[in-house]
Amino acid sequence: MKWHLVVEYKPEAALYTGSVAGLNIKVESPNEKETLRLLKEAIPLHLAMLEEVGQSATPGSARIIEHVIESPYLPGEQRRPRPGRQPTSGTRLKKR
């Protein structure tokens, strides 16, 4: 069976996280190679556990879809100035 492994780097935690599409497997490690090793070891163990309880699993039909969002709030993008709040005509500000 062919399984889809997903590995992501989380800079805020300085960790790689990994998962397997179609299986409830999640791992974390400080390096990518170790994350992949842990995922590959976990698949047969997880499948054996499912078989023991009378369940089965089939590989997920994962696809990678790239979606680009231009936002001033994403790190690494050039920040755009925030629009200032200006009262609309006919609006008066109350003094306190």
Q: Over the stretch 35-82, which tens digit does the pLDDT of each residue have?
A: 999 999 999 999 999 999 999 888 877 777 888 877 666 666 555 555
Q: How far apart are CA 30 and CA 7, in angstroms?
A: 12
pTM: 0.64
List phi, psi (to 5°) of 68.
-100, 130
Q: Over the stretch 69-89, which tens digit does the pLDDT of each residue have?
A: 776 666 665 555 556 655 555
